[in-house]
Structure 1
Amino acid sequence: MKIAHIEAIPFAIPYRKPLRFASGEVHTAEHVLVRVHTDDGVVGVAEAPPRPFTYGETQQSIVAVIDRIFAPEVVGLSLLEREVMHARLERTVGNPAAKAALDMAVWDALGRTLDLPVTQMLGGFTDRMRVSHMVGFASDEAMVADAERVRDTYGITVFKVKVGRRPVSLDVGACRALRAALGPDVELYVDGNRGWTPSEAARALRAMDDLDLTLSEELCPADDVLGRRWLTAQTTIPTVADESATTPGEVTRELLGGSATMISIKTARTGFHTSQRILHQCEGMGVEVVMGNQVDGQVGTACTVAFGAAHRHSSRRAGELSNFLDMSDDLLTEPLEIRGGELAVRPGPGLGIEIDPDKLAHYRTD
């Protein structure tokens, strides 16, 4: 059960259409597949999606930090020495996606070694989650068409609408068009990716007061602590901290400081280890959470649903589990399937997924 070797494999898979939001846009999934090999011949996998416009990581930096810094610190440890591993990883500042992928690959390897599903090891509350779909920047007509297609094809009835454009009226109009087309029974919430000022965000929320929005996520810059605190006090819509709450310490600051009333947990950013700490922190404080998405592929989505379904608190809301639908292909031997608006956890040991060697050979870029 000792870690014998770690691989960080860069790969690139085009999106069917660009994904556009306030903090940037993505045309290709330039991610990193992390594989942890044990001395027993077991291989655990996870996915690191770099987001340079959010966390500063790139595909090249993730490969480099794993190969040159993290692997030498982790090789030789037992799969059970996770606290030791994280103590060593935390000596290096930043690099959240690299750390998260390494953590989740270790969990996958442990599950395969013990012949247990990771979701059962984490808590085993349920075996599926409702799915929320992200609707990115486009014309009102294109955004409505995307939402209707996803609803009709996959049964999804929860939509996260990307906002944060200027003028604010662009996004207000889009949300109105979506509500009019989808009807009152569909859940809509907004995510600004830090695109608006507090005053712009307050004006937009007032203009959409009749749309029954359920959440507002990271509408203002993450470091505008006072502005976000002021905005949260202006609205009755729950305020979700995402990029501003990436560590347990930041979660404490956001909640106790009044800058947020809910927390987005992203396993692509905090793995299983730190995500569980944040989840229990929120649960103890009586704060709701939503399982977020870092524009993950199917490997990363399998990780998110395994974690979200494992815990009662994180399985209550629809998780953001559908971004992989916009990718032209993926790496799994058996693609994930969303049915009736839900995504089930894969059965089997570990994460229950297998990498297709031919697809990996085709898409890897090293």
Structure 2
Amino acid sequence: FDIAGAHALMNRAISPSFSTGMPIAKAGIDLALHDLTARIRGQSVAERWGHKTPEKLTLSWTINPQTLDETAKLVEEGKRHGYKHFNVKIAPDPKFDIEMCRIVRKMAPDAFFWADANGGYDLATALAVAPKLADIGVDVLEQPIAANRLTGYREIRKQRALPILMDEGVVSSVELIEFIRLGLLDGVAMKPARTAGLWDARRQIEIVQDAGLLFLGSGLTDPDIALAAAIHLYGAYGLKFPAALNGPQFLTGSFLERPLVVSGGDIEIPRGPGFGVQIDEKKIRSMQN
């Protein structure tokens, strides 16, 4: 089962430019191949890799308020669903961000607290904001400036206010290795869709772990299959932090025979061959009508 060979063929059809070409499209094929080949062997995807997974994975609740008044309500909503950890979307307004983060931390003093700027600050703002976020109690800062501002990442990391994660800038393991050598990051927020699927995501996690850097788990508001793939990946590689997988938070309905179960802020990792899930064909047909 040559998944590496499949990626080589896809890369011939859609060539890389700066990095992997059309990674999200390739991720769909990659996930299908991982699920299929593991099913043929009668193994879970994690077992096919020689790994085991825990029964559950802890999740983080996403906070993205439009006004400060909304912030407390969104935190309370997460708590009502059993979530204990929170990730917030910040930038471009530093004053708003600092006050919003202060509210979240006050309401969740024991939470793992993760701020993601999605590249929305300029360098000067990021350098000014990072120490203030650290003082509030933000644990990590993801993608503070645009992905192509490499010297800026070096400056922010040298500040040592708090750990700096990359997201959008790390598509393949090639640039990940380069960025580590350049001293640009303290860790990576992994997303299988961004990395063209599980094949290179695994390599990236192994590179990060071997370098003694942080591996955090995230996603792209993943529906059923992509969510199952992500939790198998993160469980297999021993994710130590709550995963910012917000598909269950924002998506309704499921096309699985047995929908994935989230309880108390934890998601159950399904058992069985492949990703451990079965598509309900009747639900698929009903969605087409």
TM over 0.5: yes
Matches within 5 A, 1:290-301: 290-301=216-227
Deviation digits for residues 88-141 of structure 1, max 9, x if unmatched?
Answer: 112223110111121111111112222211122231143322112221242223
Matches within 5 A, 1:245-260: 245-260=170-185
2:58 paired with 1:134? no
Deviation digits for residues 145-181 of structure 1, max 9, x if unmatched?
Answer: 122222232x222211000123x11111111111222
RMSD value, Cα: 1.7
Tell whether the 8 Å contact from 1:134 to 1:322 is kept in structure 2 after alignment: yes
Q: Which moved more, 1:219-228 or 1:341-350?
A: 341-350
Tell me the secondary structure at the aligned position of residue 46 of structure 2. Answer: helix
Residues paired across the two proteins, number: 281
Output the CA distance in 2 between the equivalents of 1:144 and 1:253.
40
One-letter code aligned to 2:130: L
Unaligned runs of 5+ in 1: 1-79
CA pair 352-318 structure 1, distance change in 2 beyond 3 A: same
Output the CA distance in 1 between the equivalents of 2:131 and 2:237.
34
Output the CA distance in 1 between the equivalents of 2:163 and 2:269.
28
TM-score computed with the length of structure 1 as normaliser: 0.73
Counterpart in the other structure of 2:83 = 156
Tell me the secondary structure at the aligned position of residue 319 of structure 1. Answer: coil
Matches within 5 A, 1:343-358: 343-358=267-282
Tell whether the 8 Å contact from 1:104 to 1:303 is kept in structure 2 after alignment: yes
Counterpart in the other structure of 1:116 = 43
TM-score computed with the length of structure 2 as normaliser: 0.91
Q: 1:223 aligns with which of 148, 156, 168?
A: 148
Bigger strand share: 1
Tell whether the 8 Å contact from 1:126 to 1:311 is kept in structure 2 after alignment: no
Q: 1:190 aligns with which of 100, 103, 115?
A: 115
One-letter code aligned to 2:243: G
Deviation digits for residues 205-244 of structure 1, max 9, x if unmatched?
Answer: 2333321111100010000111121111113311001111
| TM-fit CA distance, 1:364 | 4.5
Output the CA distance in 2 between the equivalents of 1:161 and 1:298.
23
Alignment identity in percent? 22
Output the CA distance in 1 between the equivalents of 2:11 and 2:56.
32
Output the CA distance in 1 between the equivalents of 2:105 and 2:241.
20
2:95 paired with 1:174? no
CA pair 138-323 structure 1, distance change in 2 beyond 3 A: farther
2:2 paired with 1:96? no
CA pair 203-364 structure 1, distance change in 2 beyond 3 A: farther
Tell me the secondary structure at the aligned position of residue 253 of structure 2. Answer: coil
Q: Which moved more, 1:133-142 or 1:246-255?
A: 133-142
Give structure 1 regions of 4+ aligned residues with deviation exceeding 3 angstroms: 362-365
CA pair 223-337 structure 1, distance change in 2 beyond 3 A: same
Tell me the secondary structure at the aligned position of residue 59 of structure 2. Answer: strand
Q: 1:213 aligns with which of 138, 149, 167?
A: 138
Output the CA distance in 2 between the equivalents of 1:286 and 1:200.
28
Tell whether the 8 Å contact from 1:96 to 1:269 is kept in structure 2 after alignment: yes
Output the CA distance in 2 between the equivalents of 1:212 and 1:227.
23
Tell whether the 8 Å contact from 1:127 to 1:310 is kept in structure 2 after alignment: no
2:210 paired with 1:284? yes
Q: Which moved more, 1:118-127 or 1:208-217?
A: 118-127
Tell me the secondary structure at the aligned position of residue 259 of structure 1. Answer: coil
Output the CA distance in 1 between the equivalents of 2:230 and 2:268.
11
CA pair 144-323 structure 1, distance change in 2 beyond 3 A: farther
- Ranked by relative contact order (alpha carbons within 8 Å, sequence separation 6 or more), the top structure is 2
